[in-house]
Amino acid sequence: MKILQILPELNYGGVETGTIDFAQYLVQHGHDSYVVSNGGQQVILLEKNGSKHITLPVHQKSLWTILKMIKVLRKIILDEQIEIVHARSRVPAWIAYFACKQTPAVFVTTCHGHYQSRLFSQVMGWGKYVIVPSAAIGRHMVETFKVPHERIRCIARSVNLKRFKFKNEVQKKKDKYTVVIVGRITPLKGHNYFIKAMAKVIRNMPNVQVKIIGDAPKRKEEYRKELELLAKRLGLKEHIEFMGNRSDVAQLLENVDCLVLATVTQEAFGRVILEAQAIGVPVVATQVGGVVDIIDDEQTGLLVLPKDIDAMADQVMRILRNREFATTLVQNARHKVEQKFTVEQMAEQTLAVYQEMQDKLDICVVKLSSVGDVVLVTASLKALRKKYPKAKIYFLVGRESYKVIQHCPYIDEIIIFDFKGKEKGTLGFIRRVFRLRRYQFDIMIDFQNNRLSHWLIYLSSPIKSYGYDNGKWGNLLTNSITDKGEPLNPVEHQFQVLKELGISYKGHHFLELWPTKKDQEYAHDLLSGEWIGEQQRIVGINVAASAKWETKNWPIENIAKICDLFSAENIRVVLTGMQKDKTAAAQIIHMTKSKPADLTGRTDMMQLAAVIKMCKVYITADSAPMHVAAAMRTPFIAFFGPTSSQRHLPPAKKCNVLEKTMDCAPCYSSRCKIATHACMKEISVQEVYESALDLLEDNS
C-alpha cells in the first residue's frame, strides 16, 4: 500500500514519535511510506528509516494557506497514487479531507486529543474510520462529535522496545532519587500541581531531585516563567531543573526513580507512561482519560485524582521508600507493555484498519419521492446487491415512502429524510447533511435527480456519486451521465446510471414488493368483509391517479359501465384508491347496478399490494398502483395518454397497454390543453373489457 501520514511538524512529542515508528514499520514490511509536515528535528530520522518526507506549511491555520495546500496535497495524492491518507492533527486533517475529494484515496484520522466540541475539531470525526487511542476518547468522539460507533477503531499508542530497554528492577536504596515529569508545558498538563506536590516530597525527602522535560509553546512562554517563579517561591530552585525539549528521553529515563503524569484534563492516552514502564520506571499518574487503559492501580502503577497535591506527593514518596513494591509495579507494567503496547501490535492493527477500509464498501441509494417511483427502484436495488454482495447498502427515502422499502432484503439500513416535516427548510436540510456525512459513504447513487438531491449528495461528501446531469446542478456529482432522450422504460433508465458501476441491463429486471403477513391478513379480512372469497375472480380498478395528474384518469362513467360488464360474468370488482378518491368511488357505485366493493382510502401502499396480489387482473392509469401491480406479478391493464408508455411502463410479466395515438399526446400536462381529454376518453369500455378477459383467460 501507499500510505501518507500528515501532521503539523516533526519535532519531539508523542504524536511525532508514533508517526515515525509507524512509518519505519511500513517501510520494513514493504509498503511505501510518505509523511507530510512542516518539517522539524526528526525529519532526518524519518528519511533515514526509508520514508519520503514532503515539507508543506500544513501547520498554519490561515484559511488562504489551507485552501492552497488542499490543491497541492491533492496533486501529490494523484501523482504518487496514494491509497490511504492518515491525518493526525486538525489543521492537516482539514487539508487532507478536501484533498482526498476527487481522488481514489481513503481518508482516516487518529484523535490524539480530547477535542472540544467546536467546528474546527469536527473534521477529526470525518474519517472513513476514526482511530482513537483509548476507550475514553472513543466515547468522547461518539457522544460529543456524533461519530457512529461502528466507525470507531481503538488502537492504543505504542512504545518501541528496542529504544526503551528494560532495566529489570529498581535500585533498592540510593543517596539521591530523581522524579521527572515529561510533556509540553501547558496548564492542561498540571505542572503547577506537580511542583507543589514535589515541594511536599522534598520537605520530607531532601535527597530528591526533580526534572521537568519538555518546553512551552511560544504562546505559552509566560506560563513557563510562572512555573519557574513558583518553584523559586517554594524554595525548590536547587532541587528542580527545567530541561526543555530533549531527544534523549530514553537515556534520561534510565536514571529516573519515579515518573509523574499530572494532567488535569482528559488525557487521550499518555505515551510517556509506556516509555517509563518499558524501561522500568514506576509511575504515578492522574486518573484521567486513556491513562486508566494503561495503568491498573496498585498493579502496574499508582493513580491519583487530578489536582490532588497531597495524594500525588504521598504516592511518590511511597514508591521512593518502598523499593520492593516499586519493583513489583515495574515488572507488572513491563509485562503489560509487552502484551498490549508494542509498535508491532499498533502497526499491525492500523494496517488491519486500512485493509478493512479498502474492503468495506458503503453505498447509499437516494430516492426521496414519490411512492410509485420508490417502487421502481427495487429492481436496481436487487442488481446492486448482486454486484456488491458484501457491501452495506443504505436507502435514503422520504418519510411518506419508507414503508414501501421497509422489508426490502437487498438493503441493510433505511435513512428517513423527513423533508416535509421535522427536516423541512434550510436548517432541516443542513441537519440532514451533517447526519449523512457521519456515514462516510463510498458511493451515493442519485435516482431522484433534482437540485435537492444533487446538493444533498455533494454536501454529504461521498468518494463517488452517480446520477443524471439534467442541467440542475448535476455537475455536483463525480460521475454524471447525460440523458440522451432515448425512449427507455423507467427501470432501464435507472440502469444507465448503474452501467457506470459495471451493472448492465439485460431486460429481465422486475420490480418487487414485500407485504408482511399482517398486510396479507388485513387484505384478506378487507375482502371477506365485502363478501369476496379467495376462489372468486377479482378485478381491481384504480379509481384515479394522483391529484396532480387528473389528465391520467379514465372517465368514472366508463369505470361504472365496465363494473356492470364484469358483474354479468360473475367477476367481482374492487375499487381502490386514496382517501381523496372516495367521492369518485361513491359516484361510480351510484351509477352501477352491480355495486362493486369500495376499498378507497382503506389501505396503505403495502396493504394495497396485498389486495392487488389477490386480484386476477388490475386496471389502472399510469400511477403508483401500476408499479405495485407489476411488482406483485398481477396481470394489469395500463392506460396511457398524457404520458408515454415507452418511458413509464415498468417491466412486467403480463400487461396490456391501452394508449391512443394523438397529435397532442404525450403532453406531460396535468391539465388538458385542448379541454377534450380525448386521449383517455377514446379508450373504450369494450376494448378494456376484452383486454381484461384475455388476461383473465391467460391467468386461469
Instruction: For 542-561, write each residue's pLDDT tens digit.
Output: 999 988 888 899 999 999 99
Does some domain include residue 165?
Answer: no
323 shares its domain with 235 = yes
Instruction: For 310-319, write each residue's pLDDT tens digit.
Output: 999 999 999 9
3-state class (DSSP) for residue 216 = coil
Write down the pTM of the prediction.
0.74
Amino acid at 644: S
Please give the share of the chain, as a percent, with pLDDT higher than 90: 70
Does some domain include residue 485?
Answer: yes
Q: How many CB atoms lie within 10 A of CB 141?
A: 25
pLDDT at 167: 80
Q: Do 496 and 488 contact (CB within 8 A), yes or no?
A: yes
326 shares its domain with 181 = yes
Q: What distance in Å separates the CA atoms of residue 303 and residue 633, rounded to the nearest whole number?
A: 69
Amino acid at 345: Q
Given 501, 526, 557, the domain boundary residue is: 501
* More confident position, 525 or 662: 525
Mean pLDDT, rounded, for 286-292: 90
Exposed e or buried b per residue across 495-506, where buried means at least 16 C-beta atoms within 10 angstroms of its C-beta: bbbbeebebebe
Answer yes or no: is pLDDT of 507 > 80: no
pLDDT at 30: 95
CA distances from 369 to 366, 372, 399, 402, 490 (A): 9, 8, 9, 9, 15
Amino acid at 203: R
Q: Do 396 and 415 contact (CB within 8 A), yes or no?
A: yes
pLDDT at 423: 86
425 shares its domain with 376 = yes
Does some domain include residue 350?
Answer: no
Instruction: For 96-127, write each residue's pLDDT tens digit.
Output: 999 998 788 999 999 988 888 788 899 999 99
* Close Cβ partners of 358 (under 8 Å, ≥ 6 residues apart): 83, 106
The alpha carbon dihedral of 422, 426, 431, 433 has a sign of positive
Half-sphere exposure of 191 (CA within 13 A, CB side): 28
Give the pLDDT band of residue 171 (cuts 50, 70, 90). low
Which H/E stretch holds residue 479?
strand 479-481
Instruction: For 384-421, write each residue's pLDDT tens digit.
Output: 999 999 999 999 999 989 999 999 999 999 999 988 88
pLDDT at 483: 86
197 shares its domain with 327 = yes
Which domain covers residue 305, as residue numbers?
177-341
Q: What are the strands, taking DSSP E only, across 22-94? A: 32-37, 52-55, 84-87
Does some domain include residue 265?
Answer: yes
* More confident position, 700 or 550: 550
Q: Across the chain, what does the average pLDDT equal?
A: 91
Q: How many domains does the chain have?
A: 4
Does some domain include residue 163?
Answer: no
| 360-366-368 Cα angle (round to 5) | 150
In a 10 Å sphere around its CB, with 0-12 CB exposed, 13-18 middle and 19+ buried, how is residue 217 labelled?
exposed
CA distances from 429 to 420, 435, 436 (A): 11, 10, 11
* Residue of 487, 205, 489 whose CA lies nearest to 320: 205
- Find where cell 422504460 sits: 489
Answer yes or no: is pLDDT of 699 > 70: no
pLDDT at 201: 94
Mean pLDDT, rounded, for 514-520: 96
Answer yes or no: is pLDDT of 290 > 70: yes
* Close Cβ partners of 304 (under 8 Å, ≥ 6 residues apart): 284, 285, 286, 287, 311, 312, 315
Upstream peptide bond of 596 is cis (omega within 30 degrees of 0): no
pLDDT at 613: 96
Give the pLDDT band of residue 438 (cuts 50, 70, 90). confident
412 shares its domain with 556 = no
Q: Do 289 and 268 contact (CB within 8 A), yes or no?
A: yes
In a 10 Å sphere around its CB, with 0-12 CB exposed, 13-18 middle and 19+ buried, how is residue 243 labelled?
middle
* More confident position, 154 or 674: 154
Does some domain include residue 487?
Answer: yes
290 shares its domain with 197 = yes
Mean pLDDT, rounded, for 489-494: 93
In a 10 Å sphere around its CB, with 0-12 CB exposed, 13-18 middle and 19+ buried, how is residue 398 labelled?
buried
pLDDT at 360: 86
492 shares its domain with 534 = no
Q: How many CB atoms lie within 10 A of CB 168?
A: 10
Given 309, 341, 373, the domain boundary residue is: 341
Mean pLDDT, rounded, for 458-463: 89
Give the pLDDT band of residue 250 (cuts 50, 70, 90). confident
Answer yes or no: is pLDDT of 170 > 70: no
Answer yes or no: is pLDDT of 237 > 90: no
Give the pLDDT band of residue 39 (cuts 50, 70, 90). very high
pLDDT at 169: 66
Q: What distance in Å separates the CA atoms of residue 450 and residue 433, rounded to the nearest whole number?
A: 16
Q: Do 543 and 581 contact (CB within 8 A), yes or no?
A: yes
Give the N- to C-terminal CA distance of the chain in Å, as an integer.
62
pLDDT at 700: 61
pLDDT at 159: 87
Does some domain include residue 237?
Answer: yes
11 shares its domain with 46 = yes
Instruction: For 43-97, write each residue's pLDDT tens digit.
Output: 999 999 999 999 999 999 999 999 999 999 999 999 999 999 999 999 999 999 9
Q: Which three cell numbers stand for residue 299?
A: 498493579
551 shares its domain with 685 = yes
Provide the β-strand partners of residue 364: 394, 444
Answer yes or no: is pLDDT of 536 > 70: yes
pLDDT at 486: 82
Q: What is the largest CA-CA distance in the chain?
A: 115
Does some domain include residue 377?
Answer: yes
Given 99, 121, 154, the domain boundary residue is: 154
495 shares its domain with 580 = no
53 shares its domain with 196 = no
* Close Cβ partners of 409 (under 8 Å, ≥ 6 residues apart): 385, 514
CATH number at residue 59: 3.40.50.2000
Give the pLDDT band of residue 307 (cuts 50, 70, 90). very high
Instruction: For 619-647, write each residue's pLDDT tens digit.
Output: 999 999 999 999 999 999 999 999 999 99
Mean pLDDT, rounded, for 360-368: 94
Q: What distance in Å separates the CA atoms of residue 71 and residue 154, rounded to the nearest whole number?
A: 31
Mean pLDDT, rounded, for 650-674: 87
Instruction: For 570-584, write each residue's pLDDT tens digit.
Output: 999 999 999 999 999
Mean pLDDT, rounded, for 222-244: 91
Answer yes or no: is pLDDT of 208 > 90: yes
Instruction: For 131-147, write each residue's pLDDT tens digit.
Output: 999 888 999 999 999 89
- Find where cell 383517455 sits: 680
621 shares its domain with 664 = yes
* More confident position, 660 or 109: 109
